[in-house]
């Protein structure tokens, strides 16, 4: 007797309504478990240029996660979707899928985890980093962090605090779509009353209240952040899941969703 085939992972994901931002995490093992659709020639070319197998494995998993999530978000209009990149490399859906669905997305990956953020009609950026104490040096912070961030980092003595700031900065820059054209030291964050506050210079960010942030720890060894350009919209609901082999989709716990703006 032939065993019944499993439904594709995308069918196990929740629908994406307006007013919500969905974050998905997966380990690189997803690369061999979620290939519902072939990778594009551009994706295959990027993989071929990576020198180390561990990096190819992680990026391949990120691409697989992207296909899974976008096919769920696009639904019936998702057949044959393609993507384009902005002038500074930010990916987006090509037309007619972008305007027809309003779907916006962003992707990040480390060597141990991959991350995908998706929403409707709001720009967003995500960043994921492995907590590495070797990288969390004071000289790096002195070059890229604002004075208030350096002071807080010195007081905490924590490598994870370094990556809290780093992922928030990267997510914010990616959401703006300007890459590293903006100086990281002028994009400042602060943590007060268990909330995230953007304190960038007014010349750089005249409307800090138009942004929404969340900081997560999908595993003890990772930090992740999302930046959402909500503009004058009401606060959006941020929801997050692990996507694993065997079509398991598990919501992150409250303890793993650390802080929000």
Q: Helix 147-156 to helix 159-176 angle, to the nearest 10 degrees?
A: 150
Range picked from 72-81, 200-209, 252-261 for highest mean pLDDT:
252-261
Residue 99 CA to residue 101 CA, distance in Å, equals 6
In a domain, 138, yes or no: yes
Domain that holds residue 208: 19-260
Whether pLDDT at 102 is above 90? yes
Q: Read off the CATH number of the domain in which 146 is found.
A: 3.90.470.20
In a domain, 84, yes or no: yes
Give this prediction's pTM. Answer: 0.91
In a domain, 6, yes or no: no
Q: Is 138 helix (H, G, I), strand (E, B) or coil?
A: helix
In a domain, 11, yes or no: no
In a domain, 122, yes or no: yes
In a domain, 7, yes or no: no
Residue 8 CA to residue 35 CA, distance in Å, equals 9
In a 10 Å sphere around its CB, with 0-12 CB exposed, 13-18 middle and 19+ buried, how is residue 99 labelled? exposed
In a domain, 8, yes or no: no
**Mean pLDDT across the stretch 119-144?**
86
In a domain, 224, yes or no: yes
Dihedral pair phi/psi, residue 258, rounded to 5°: -75, -55
**Mean pLDDT across the stretch 156-166?**
90
Whether pLDDT at 10 is above 90? no
How many distinct structural domains can be found in the chain? 1
pLDDT over 70 for what percent of the chain?
90
């Amino acid at each position: 007797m032939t065993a019944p085939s499993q439904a594709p992972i995308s069918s196990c994901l929740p629908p994406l309504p307006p007013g919500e931002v969905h974050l998905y995490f997966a380990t690189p093992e997803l690369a061999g478990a979620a290939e519902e659709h072939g990778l594009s020639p551009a994706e295959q070319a990027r993989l071929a240029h990576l020198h180390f197998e561990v990096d190819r494995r992680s990026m391949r998993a990120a691409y697989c996660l992207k296909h899974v999530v976008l096919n769920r978000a696009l639904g019936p209009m998702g057949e044959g979707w393609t993507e384009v990149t902005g002038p500074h490399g930010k990916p987006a859906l090509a037309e007619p899928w972008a305007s027809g669905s309003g779907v916006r997305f962003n992707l990040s990956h480390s060597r141990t985890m991959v991350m995908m953020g998706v929403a409707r009609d709001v720009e967003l950026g995500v960043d994921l980093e492995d907590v590495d104490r070797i990288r969390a040096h004071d000289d790096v912070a002195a070059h890229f962090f604002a004075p208030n961030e350096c002071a807080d980092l010195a007081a905490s003595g924590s490598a994870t605090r370094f990556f809290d700031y780093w992922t928030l900065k990267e997510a914010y820059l990616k959401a703006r779509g300007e890459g590293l054209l903006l100086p990281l030291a002028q994009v400042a964050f602060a943590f007060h009353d268990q909330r995230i506050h953007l304190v960038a210079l007014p010349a750089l960010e005249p409307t800090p209240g138009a942004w929404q942030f969340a900081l997560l720890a999908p595993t003890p060894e990772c930090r992740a952040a999302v930046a959402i350009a909500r503009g004058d919209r009401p606060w959006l609901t941020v929801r997050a899941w692990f996507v694993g082999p065997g079509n398991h989709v598990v919501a992150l716990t409250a303890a793993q969703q650390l802080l929000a703006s």
